[in-house]
């Protein structure tokens, strides 16, 4: 039996979509205000997505936005979800993220991925078909740069000879690295072997439990200690749609506009197991998904209880501001979640079979 901490933790996910009713500046400023409020309300983490050439995600550099978030917060962990490694030079990314770790006083969570949108690669004249190989090289270099301070590396894409990396991050031996995992077991196994944490998206609860079991198996087999593995799992989370209002009917109605605009705008990938590539979405069916926590505080508590029982995962990353939701609604949802939902899960150990 493994015990994952005493309290469940709750983070927020930010895609920063510019819907027709918002400007770029308004959405980005709204996002920073939400992160500031999240810090004051006791949310554990804020996760920033990175995209380019797409109206549904206008933060092209997670490091820049995270640094701005660090300036207006004190306690909340600040994560990238994710930084697309093939679109950055790994040494410069290490330097930028070390700066974020310093200005946030050691609050950086570094989430990484390979990218999935060919348009975003084409915009920067980067080879989309090489992204997997480039991601693997970049992750090795990034990890070494943050942890060791000097990089020697020779690969297909990078030839780095004895280069020191400054500044040095606050966290030791380095900020935690998180790998985005969806349907592929191989991604989870790779993260486990390297001792990285993970962020899950687009999978059901039974697959979540399966992947966590895989993670423990391969991480322990790689020589990592039981304590280290449990800490890595406890940091990890799953991304879920979430919105809270006084009544379930109100929550479902208020969440609908932003979600439906986002669904119509994002046509390049199925979304977290509830939105198909063909965009044929039944909103009522979406609301029934186990990946959607939309309703009154009482309903959301019940949904989280089911999630906790079925997965054993201690952390949830909540997507409240999907599709440029109206600012007053997002802040109200955050406040209700903080005051009515979070206290229910305080001082509860999460125990699951190893």
Token match 């900020």: residue? 175
Beta strands 2-3 and 351-352 are antiparallel
Q: Are the beta carbons of 151 and 91 closer than 8 angstroms?
A: yes
* pLDDT band at residue 277 under the 50/70/90 scheme: low
Question: What's the average model confidence in pLDDT over 333-354?
Answer: 80
The pLDDT, as a whole number, for residue 100 is 98
Question: What's the average model confidence in pLDDT over 43-48?
Answer: 98
* pLDDT band at residue 273 under the 50/70/90 scheme: low
Domains contained in the chain, CATH given: 2-352 (3.20.20.30)
The pLDDT, as a whole number, for residue 182 is 86
The pLDDT, as a whole number, for residue 278 is 57
* pLDDT band at residue 3 under the 50/70/90 scheme: very low
Structure tokens at 322: 């999907």
pTM of the model: 0.94
The pLDDT, as a whole number, for residue 4 is 44
Mapping DSSP to helix (H, G, I), strand (E, B) and coil, where does residue 147 land?
Answer: helix
The pLDDT, as a whole number, for residue 266 is 84
Structure tokens at 162: 């004895």
Q: Are the beta carbons of 32 and 330 closer than 8 angstroms?
A: no
* pLDDT band at residue 347 under the 50/70/90 scheme: confident
Question: What's the average model confidence in pLDDT over 30-55?
Answer: 98
Percent of the chain past pLDDT 70, that is, above it, reads 92
Alpha helices in 149-271 (DSSP H): 185-194, 205-221, 226-235, 248-265
* Burial class of residue 53 in the structure, from the number of CB atoms within 10 Å of its CB (0-12 exposed, 13-18 middle, 19+ buried): middle
* pLDDT band at residue 5 under the 50/70/90 scheme: very low
Per-residue pLDDT of 191-238, as tens digits, reads: 999 999 999 998 999 999 999 999 999 999 999 999 999 999 999 999
The pLDDT, as a whole number, for residue 202 is 84
The pLDDT, as a whole number, for residue 352 is 41
Question: What's the average model confidence in pLDDT over 182-194?
Answer: 93
CA distances from 322 to 114, 147, 194, 202, 330 (A): 22, 35, 32, 15, 9
pLDDT mean across residues, the chain: 93
Residue 77 reports pLDDT greater than 90: yes
The pLDDT, as a whole number, for residue 43 is 98
Alpha helices in the chain (DSSP H): 24-41, 62-71, 90-103, 118-123, 131-148, 185-194, 205-221, 226-235, 248-265, 283-288, 297-311, 327-336
The pLDDT, as a whole number, for residue 351 is 45
Question: What's the average model confidence in pLDDT over 162-178?
Answer: 98
The pLDDT, as a whole number, for residue 148 is 96
């Amino acid at each position: 039996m493994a015990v994952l901490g005493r309290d469940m933790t709750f983070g927020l996910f930010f895609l920063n979509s510019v819907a027709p009713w918002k400007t770029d500046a308004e959405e980005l400023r709204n996002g920073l205000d939400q992160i500031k409020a999240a810090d004051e309300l006791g949310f554990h983490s804020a996760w920033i997505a990175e995209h380019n050439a797409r109206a549904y995600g206008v933060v092209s550099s997670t490091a820049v936005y995270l640094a701005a978030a660090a300036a207006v917060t004190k306690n909340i962990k600040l994560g990238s979800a994710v930084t697309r490694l093939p679109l950055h030079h790994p040494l410069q990314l290490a330097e930028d993220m070390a700066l974020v770790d310093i200005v946030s006083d050691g609050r950086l969570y570094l989430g990484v991925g390979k990218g999935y949108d060919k348009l975003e690669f084409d915009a920067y004249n980067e080879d989309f078909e090489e992204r997997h190989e480039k991601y693997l090289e970049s992750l090795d270099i990034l990890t070494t740069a943050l942890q060791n301070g000097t990089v020697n590396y020779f690969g297909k894409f990078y030839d780095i000879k004895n280069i020191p990396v400054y500044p040095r991050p606050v966290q030791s031996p380095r900020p935690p690295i998180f790998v985005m995992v969806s349907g592929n077991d191989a991604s989870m196994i790779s993260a486990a072997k390297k001792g990285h944490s993970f962020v899950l998206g687009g999978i059901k609860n039974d697959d979540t439990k399966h992947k966590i079991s895989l993670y423990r198996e391969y991480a322990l087999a790689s020589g990592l200690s039981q304590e280290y593995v449990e800490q890595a799992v406890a940091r990890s989370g799953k991304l879920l749609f979430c919105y809270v209002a006084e009544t379930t009917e109100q929550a479902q109605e208020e969440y609908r506009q932003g979600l439906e605009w986002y669904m119509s705008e994002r046509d390049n990938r199925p979304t977290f197991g509830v939105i198909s590539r063909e965009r044929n979405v039944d909103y009522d069916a979406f609301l029934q998904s186990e990946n959607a926590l939309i309703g009154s505080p009482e309903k959301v508590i019940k949904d989280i209880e089911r999630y906790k029982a079925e997965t054993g995962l201690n952390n949830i990353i909540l997507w409240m501001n999907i599709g440029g939701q109206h600012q007053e609604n997002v802040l109200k949802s955050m406040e209700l979640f903080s005051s009515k939902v979070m206290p229910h899960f305080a001082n509860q150990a999460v125990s699951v079979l190893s």
